[in-house]
Chains A and B, each alone.
Chain A
């Protein structure tokens, strides 16, 4: 509840407006009418014992359309989503699919070995599996008892 100054200074129209605004904001937040813009492409990150997997939804693209770069603990994917050529002089009824160039760098939780990377592209989903370098892996240390 928003406190109004009613009673002490009389009716405050601004307080009412603020309250209305707060209510409207809440209404739109809940309904998800305006979903927040997300970086493209959306990714999921999975961690295993000594490797990390990044999956990205890139429908319409294939292996040769995406450029992957790995540097220390970052993965960069770059590419372009094209529009259908014949669609340029057509009548549009609906246009929801994003297109254009994209470049996204993802920070990985650890350094990865650029020589041990496996990437596959299936049905518009890119999956990149990267291994932690041998030297960086956690090691079990035996404790010597005296």
Chain B
């Protein structure tokens, strides 16, 4: 069945780090999918308007921070008559539950979507134990 596709308004957040922001831009929380395969944890975040060069990913111990900076679109000679979304930076912090092999994290950003492929560390992978018949 076709279902009408809807979305919820972007959620504004206050930046996590202590201290004041020097830019007066609004910060949004990107919509994120996180799933886990046998040997990866994959994080996909929607950050429309963010160019690949303006993405910042940080992993400190188990705390993962993703940030995206938006260059506001200038519409000179135009006036905005209707607005359903706001333009602003993105920021979100996650705490990872699995041990991640931080040297092999692959990050890619395409069409405003950030994908992080984080391989699980060997120690965190589930091991199958064969049961011997006695």
Footprint of B on A, CB under 8 Å?
A: 32, 35-49, 53, 55, 57-62, 81, 84, 86-87, 90-102, 109, 121, 123-125, 127
- Category for how many chain B residues contact A: 35 or more
Residue of A44, A45, A53 ringed by the most chain B CB atoms within 10 A:
A44
Q: Which residues of B contact A44 (CB under 8 A)?
A: 80, 82-85
Report whether B78 and A46 are in contact in the complex, using a CB–CB cutoff of 8 Å: yes
Q: Which residues of A contact B80 (CB under 8 A)?
A: 44-46
Q: Which residues of B contact A35 (CB under 8 A)?
A: 8-9, 11
Report whether A98 and B5 are in contact in the complex, using a CB–CB cutoff of 8 Å: yes
Distance (whole angstroms) from the CB of A101 to the closest CB of chain B: 6
Distance (whole angstroms) from the CB of A72 to the closest CB of chain B: 18
7 nearest A-B pairs in the assembled complex, by CB-CB distance: A124-B112, A45-B82, A42-B84, A124-B48, A59-B112, A46-B78, A37-B6
Report whether A98 and B6 are in contact in the complex, using a CB–CB cutoff of 8 Å: yes
Report whether A40 and B33 are in contact in the complex, using a CB–CB cutoff of 8 Å: no
B7 within 8 A of A: yes
Question: Do most interface residues of chain B lie in helix, strand or loop, or is the interface mixed?
Answer: strand
Which of B5, B42, B44, B111 contacts A123 (CB under 8 A)? B111
Residue of B46, B50, B113 ringed by the most chain A CB atoms within 10 A:
B46
Encoded as 1 (CB less than 8 Å from any A CB) or 0, chain B from 67 to 91 comes to 0000001010111111111000000
- Would A97 and B35 be within 8 Å (CB), given that A35-B8, A36-B9, A40-B6 are in contact? no
Given contacts A95-B33, A123-B51, 9 further A-B contacts (CB under 8 A): A36-B8, A37-B7, A41-B7, A46-B80, A47-B79, A81-B5, A90-B36, A97-B33, A123-B48
- A93 to B36, alpha carbons, bound, how many Å? 7
- Would A96 and B31 be within 8 Å (CB), given that A37-B6, A124-B48 are in contact? yes
Report whether A98 and B7 are in contact in the complex, using a CB–CB cutoff of 8 Å: yes
B3 within 8 A of A: yes
Which of B9, B36, B49, B51 contacts A91 (CB under 8 A)? B36
List residues of B (73-120) whose CB comes within 8 Å of A's CBs.
Answer: 73, 75, 77-85, 110-113
Nearest B residue to A127 via CB reads B73
Report whether B35 and A93 are in contact in the complex, using a CB–CB cutoff of 8 Å: yes
Report whether A87 and B75 are in contact in the complex, using a CB–CB cutoff of 8 Å: no
- A91 to B38, alpha carbons, bound, how many Å? 9
- Would A93 and B113 be within 8 Å (CB), given that A44-B80, A44-B85, A57-B48 are in contact? no
Distance (whole angstroms) from the CB of B81 to the closest CB of chain A: 5
